[in-house]
Amino acid sequence: MTFVSFDPSSGRVLAHHACLSEDRLEQRLHQAYQAAQAWQHEAPSERAALLYRLASALSAGRERMARELCLETGTLLKDCLREVERCAEECAHFAANGQAMLPAARSQVSQRPLGLMLALTAGPAPLWQCVRLLAPALMAGNGLLLKPAEHLSRLVELLARLMTEAEVPEGLITPLRISKEQVAGVVADARIGGLAYSGERQGGAIMAALAGGRLKPVILELAEADLQLILDDADLEPAVESVLNGCFRYRASWRQSEGGVLITPGLAEAFLERLGERLASLRSGRPDDSDTELGPLAKSGQREWLERQLREAERQGGRIRCGGYLPDEEGWYYPATLIEGQDPATTLFPAWPAGPVSSVLRVADEHGMQALCRSMSPDGIASIWTRDLARGEQLARSLPFDLCRVNPNPYHNSHWPPQSSPDQRLPLKRFSRSKTVLVSA
């Protein structure tokens, strides 16, 4: 198998990389297992020192790494710069606070490392997805095999250089280019003590099944539902800005989850007209151009798939207000698209396809919104827009989602990855096993 890296802005091939042979994969596994065994005996202060070195290497190489990410993912350069910054911040956070998260050395209950872990990532901000697993895993005393998404083969080289620059012990963090079949073999290997996956829900279900078949602990960070509910008395501009930031800032080329916009009739036409104007004004272009507001899609074939989905929605009665056509130009671009309708099938709801698409579903009232939301995963976020706070709170309490916000900051999603609060970071306990020692007289 050969991994091919493309430039999404032109469709040009950047590089070919061979899949690891079984012999070389075994060598990497052996080396990684030995490194992980040694690392779990290092003092927390040594683990913190390594994370500080990683933070320094990320900060020093910020411009170079961001441009590499921009070239391979099609993500806007300013967002890639922010991604590298967030990775440095994450490493520094666990370096500064990780020791306090671990029990005292002579405590009756201690946290022991899982050992060598396999982590797969397949979501937006690919470097960030790796680092947010890597930092707590290292601080907890684990080694890590990292497998990014298959279309990001150059990211493997970036990660390998980062480990060298930060003087990470050889084998402790090992980026891999392996096939899906090889992943199953690695999961089954007795040297793998735990698994982690960050990405869409379908991939998470496959990883959970593999882990369950081997009774191995697994950490799942899955794409969440993201829904905007707009009532008749909402303030128009904040609601429009929130949809723009949620649908089109950064994640337009990656997102594949559940979500969309539900709106009651009184404000629907004004909202659609204003959102359509804003979308039509977005500047499309190369992601490394500072004036670009909408870059290309991340993967080959993605826009053809999106085109088929939109044509089917139109056949069902959906109305495209702007965009919604396959452009005749090089690269994997697709215009900002707004589709609306009065039936879920006409707007692709609740599916939220990867691409610069906003689907707006007209709903009669709050009861209709509640009924539609009950079929969705509770692992998600709902943003409710209304001037009547009591009405908004009542609707929020009736929805199944883990987080419901009434009139949130409309710029909350303008940067991705967002700034993490302490409760949003992965706790070290998820990368550890509890061990209890009881001494009787």
Q: Where are the domains of the chain?
A: 2-222+427-436, 225-406
pLDDT at 413 exceeding the cut of 70: no
Distance CA 372, CA 363 (A): 9
pLDDT at 38 exceeding the cut of 90: yes
Segment 231-236 shows an average pLDDT of 96
The pLDDT assigned to 2 comes to 85
At the fourth CATH level, which superfamily is domain 2-222+427-436?
Aldehyde Dehydrogenase; Chain A, domain 1 (3.40.605.10)
CATH class of 225-406: alpha beta
**Pairing assessment for the beta strands 143-147 and 173-175 based on DSSP bridges:** parallel
The pLDDT assigned to 255 comes to 52
The pLDDT assigned to 410 comes to 85
Q: What does pLDDT average to over the chain?
A: 90
Supply the DSSP symbol for 393.
H
Is the model more confident about 355 or about 272? 272
Residue 223, both tokens? 């794409």
Contact 430/94 with Cβ under 8 angstroms? no
- Cα angle, residue 240 at apex, residues 302 and 128 outer, rounded to 5°: 50
| Block residue for tokens 């470097």 | 127
CA terminus-to-terminus distance, the chain: 61
Q: What is the pLDDT of residues 324-338, one digit of tens each?
A: 999 988 899 999 999
pLDDT at 352 exceeding the cut of 90: no
| Count of other CB atoms within 10 angstroms of residue 100 | 8
pLDDT bin (cut points 50, 70, 90) of residue 201 is confident
Segment 110-128 shows an average pLDDT of 90
The pLDDT assigned to 246 comes to 77
The pLDDT assigned to 98 comes to 92
The pLDDT assigned to 418 comes to 61
The pLDDT assigned to 103 comes to 72
Closest CA to 285 of 30, 91, 10: 10
Closest CA to 227 of 381, 379, 64, 337: 381
pLDDT at 435 exceeding the cut of 90: no
The pLDDT assigned to 249 comes to 61
pLDDT bin (cut points 50, 70, 90) of residue 421 is low
Q: What is the pLDDT of residues 360-390, one digit of tens each?
A: 999 999 999 999 998 888 888 899 999 999 9
Q: What is the pLDDT of residues 301-317, one digit of tens each?
A: 888 888 999 999 999 99
Contacts (Cβ under 8 Å, ≥6 apart) of 177: 3, 17, 18, 19, 20, 147, 153, 156
Q: What is the pLDDT of residues 133-166, one digit of tens each?
A: 999 999 999 999 999 988 888 999 999 999 999 9
Segment 36-48 shows an average pLDDT of 95
**Pairing assessment for the beta strands 109-113 and 432-436 based on DSSP bridges:** antiparallel
Closest CA to 18 of 38, 37, 3, 40: 3
pLDDT at 250 exceeding the cut of 60: no
Alpha-carbon distances of 65 from 51, 82, 87, 157, 158, rounded to whole Å? 18, 11, 11, 11, 7
One-letter amino acid for residue 292 of the chain? T
Q: Which of 50-59, 322-331, 417-426 has the lowest mean pLDDT?
A: 417-426
The pLDDT assigned to 245 comes to 83
Q: Which of 120-134, 209-223, 238-252 has the lowest mean pLDDT?
A: 238-252
Residue 129, both tokens? 């997805």
pLDDT at 109 exceeding the cut of 90: no
Distance CA 261, CA 341 (A): 11
The pLDDT assigned to 42 comes to 94
Distance CA 118, CA 114 (A): 11
The pLDDT assigned to 168 comes to 97
The pTM is what? 0.89
The pLDDT assigned to 440 comes to 76
The pLDDT assigned to 412 comes to 66
